[in-house]
Every structure is written in C-alpha cells, then in structure tokens.
Amino acid sequence: MACAFAPMNKPTSLSGPDAFTRELMRIDALIQSGDLRDAATALNTATQTQPRDPRAFLLGMRLAEAAGNPAGAIDMAQRAVALNPTWPVSVTEVAMLLSRLGKHAEAVAQVRRAAALAPRNPGVLQRAIEISHAAADHEAAISWIRQSLELAPRNVELRVWLSSKLIDAKQLDEASRVLDELLQDAPDNRDALHNRLLCARVAGDKERERQLADELLAADPAHETYQYWHAIAHGETPKTQPRGLVRGLFDEYAGRFDTHLAQLGYRVPETVSQMILNLHPDRRFNLLDLGCGTGLLGMFLGRIDGAIVGVDLSLEMIEKATEHGVYARFHNVNVLDALRDTPGDQYEVIASCDVLIYVGDLSEVIPNALRILKPGGHFVFTCEAAQEDEDNLVLRTSQRYAHKRSHVEALCKAAGFASLEVVDIPALRREGGEPLPGFIVVARKPD
C-alpha cells in the first residue's frame, strides 16, 4: 500500500492543502530518523491546523509506537478510524499496528473490516495476507490469497505463497495441484520446486521427494537449504540446519514467539536463569546468550553487574530482545560463527536455551565454548533428549535435533571441562500435546 500521507491515499471527503500533506510527510521523515521531539512538536501544530484529518492521527500512532508507547499508538490509530470509519487505509494501519504488537486475533478482525471496505484493493489484500500469516491463521491467509489471485490469476508469487499456506494447513492435495499447474507455467521456478518437495515430504512420497531434491540441488549445488533437503531425502542426517532456514523460521515467528511458548508450558529460560544466579549470587558475571531469541533469559535474569551479550541469527528476534533493556549489545550472526570468532577467556557464563536443537552437531560448539569461557566459567545449555539406543544425533520430523545424553557428556569431557552436571527435564515443553523430554547441562571449565 502506498504511503498513507500521500495525496492519492487521502479520503476524498477530506480537504487539506498540498502544503499540509508535505508537512505530514516531513514529520513522517522525522519519526523515521528518530527525531521524535521535533516530530512531536510539529505534529501538535499540524493537528491544530487540521484537527479532523485522520492522517495526522496515523502519524501520532507511528510517533507513539516509535517512542515505546503502545497504548498511545492504539489510541491514536483508533482516533484516525473514528474520524473516517470507511477509509480502508486507517483501518488497515490499525490492523498492522495490532499485528506488530502481537495482538493477532484483533489484527485479523480489523483487516477483515478493511478488506470489506476495499475488497478489490491489492494493497489491502496484501496486508491481509501478511497479518494472517503473522497470526498463523492459515485459513484466513489462504482466503485472502485466493481473493488476490482473482485480480491477478497468473501471479507467480501469489501462487507460490498459496502453496506454502496450503502445506501449512495440511491441504496437501490442493497444494500439489497448485504447484503442478505453476510448474507447468514456470518449470524453473525454484520456490515452486522447493514447495513441491516439502509437499511430497509431508505427504510421505519418498520417491517424488528424492527426485525433486536431486532437481533442486542440480540447479544450485552450493545452496545450503537445497543441500539440507537433499541429504534428508536420501536418508542422511545433515550436521546442522542451514542459516537461511533458521533465520526465515524465527523472523516469521518473532511476533508470536513468547505467547506461543507460554502456551506450550515452556519455562527453560526461567530455570536456566535461576541456575546461573545460584552460580553467581552476587550477580557479578558476564554472559554470552547464544541464540538469545526474544531475550527471555535476559528478562528472567534482570540487571547484573556485568554485560549480557546476545547472539541470534534473526534480526526480528533481536529487535524483540532489545525491549527488555538488559542486554549490553547484540550480534546478528550464526551461533557457530559467533563461537568460532569470539576470542578466548571472555565470559564467566555461556548459555544456550533450546538453540542447539537447531545447531545439530556439537563437535565444534563444546570445545569453542570451553575456549571462550574464563577459568572456572560455566557453559549452561539444553538439549532435546534422544534415546540411548538411537544415534548420537537424531533429526526429528519437527526438523529439530535431539542429542543422546551419553554422547553430549563424552564431548564435554573430551573437550576438557572439569566437571559436569546433567539435569533431566521430563518436559522442556509440550509437543503435540505431549511432554517433550530433554536435559540441561552445566559444564565447568577448569580453574
């Protein structure tokens, strides 16, 4: 959708000179540059000039959100809608704001209103798709994509997106049909080939899965994600997950991450934070939080007499973690790269909560953690538990790795950790309604 402050988006029932529109756009630029004080002063003046122009209140929404005032942002957005309830731009802006704030059900309800006001507006439909996707409302997203395809039936991107949501909704026959038709029109489209592979995999069509994996890898042999799916299709266990796959997963997941984990009974960061504080009751330590996500570990730790440094591959997750105000800095990098590139003897504690389930092979992780720790420091991390009669490293159908406890213990001892405590956890969280067993490792570096 075009900028809400441009003349083309202005409600025809409202009047305002071009100079006013230019002033709104100038204020918007101030907000985007972080000059919030000047933006607020200018916006107050602008609102007094045109008190019934909803665009000014939409700017107030953006200003309040930038200032960290979500309640104020919602109030401004609702005022914009009240001034002109039939203007789809303001209703859509409210929906997008609610989505960013994690109020997904309310966001979907608002965007339904916007789409009812402008059922053939591609911009509104695009936002409806994005908001439904963020809410993991697959049925709603499918409906909006179909509506968009009525306006642009040959649009390749929309057809790929439809196939993705159909796979998410386990509507595999329909997804296969959409993809087969798309591949007839665009046989070299790798996104469509990739989705067709995923569809075959979920459906259990091993022969088709292998064929498509071979085709994808032949098209781009250096592509990490294609290498990963090729290995799985041929019965191999990849050593780790590709960066792009992990980043995409958690960029999409960031907005609903904390709420969803709470629903799954996930309390690992709280447990690990208490373990760390038991090791350092004076709260004097430096911590490297590997795979910090939305900063749940830092939130439970609170302020310490030292630095908490977060590492995460997802920038969307890091942006959420900054809201806790306890991290000294962040590194937007892969966990393996962070461990490899960090100098030795830096931290009293390294923690990794439910992250190594995506890293996989720990043969580099554990020795590098030992090297980075200061003498007497601790590496505290969690694993999903593989059975002792399974392989040392198992890739579950969830696309997460499970580790065998005895193998992890052997790796820690071989790396040179002086002592080791392993705590079995009957339920790291619920998976498909059932408890998912795991364990927490506290490994101590020699003095």
- Could you read off the pLDDT of 210-234 as tens digits, one per residue? 999 999 999 999 999 999 999 999 9
* pTM to 2 decimal places: 0.81
Integer CA distances (angstroms), 223 to 180, 201, 412, 426, in order: 23, 19, 32, 37
What confidence category does residue 11 fall into, taking pLDDT thresholds of 50, 70 and 90?
very low
**Under 8 Å CB-to-CB from 308, ≥6 apart: which residues?**
286, 287, 289, 298, 301, 326, 327, 328
Q: What is the pLDDT of residue 253?
A: 64
Distance CA 205, CA 207 (A): 6
CB 84 within 8 Å of CB 11: yes
Q: How far is CA 79 from CA 6, 323, 361, in A?
A: 19, 26, 53
In the DSSP assignment, the letter for residue 70 is: H
217: number of Cβ within 10 Å: 18
Q: Which pLDDT value is given to residue 364?
A: 95
Evaluate if residue 101 carries a pLDDT over 90: no
Query: Mind listing the pLDDT tens digit for each residue in 166-198?
Result: 999 999 999 999 999 999 999 999 999 999 999
What is the per-residue pLDDT across 83-98, written as a single tens digit (0 to 9) for each? 999 999 999 999 999 9
Percentage, residues of the chain above pLDDT 90: 83
Tokens of 151: 């306006």
Supply the pLDDT for residue 245.
Answer: 87
In whole angstroms, give the CA distance from residue 142 to residue 162: 6
- Residue carrying structure tokens 């590709």: 242
Q: What is the pLDDT of residue 354?
A: 93
Q: Is 331 helix (H, G, I), strand (E, B) or coil?
A: strand
Q: What is the pLDDT of residue 260?
A: 66
Dump the DSSP string for 264-316.
TT--HHHHHHHHHHHH-TT----EEEET-TTTHHHHHH---SS-EEEE-S-HH
Which distant-in-sequence residues (6+ apart) come within 8 Å of 397 by Cβ? none
How far apart are the C-alpha atoms of 211 and 350, rounded to whole Å?
Answer: 42
Q: How many CB atoms lie within 10 A of CB 213?
A: 24
- 36, pLDDT greater than 90: yes
User: Residues 399-408: pLDDT tens digits?
Assistant: 999 999 999 9
| Residue percentage of the chain with pLDDT more than 70 | 95
Return d(Cα 360, Cα 65) in angstroms, integer.
Answer: 38
**Chain segment 365-395, per-residue pLDDT in tens:** 999 999 999 999 999 999 999 999 999 999 9
Cα within 13 Å of Cα(165), Cβ side: 23
For 167, residues 6+ apart whose C-beta sits below 8 A from its C-beta are 175, 195, 198, 199, 202
Instruction: Indicate the burial class of 95 (C-beta count within 10 angstroms; 0-12, 13-18, 19 or more).
Output: buried
Model confidence band, residue 4 (pLDDT cutoffs 50, 70, 90): low
Beta bridge partners of 419: 444
Identify the weakest region by mean pLDDT among 62-71, 258-267, 283-292. Answer: 258-267
Residue at 354: amino acid letter: D
Alpha carbons within 13 angstroms on the beta-carbon side of residue 332 total 12
What's the confidence (pLDDT) of residue 254?
Answer: 67
pLDDT at position 17: 54
What is the H or E stretch that residue 385 is in? strand 373-386
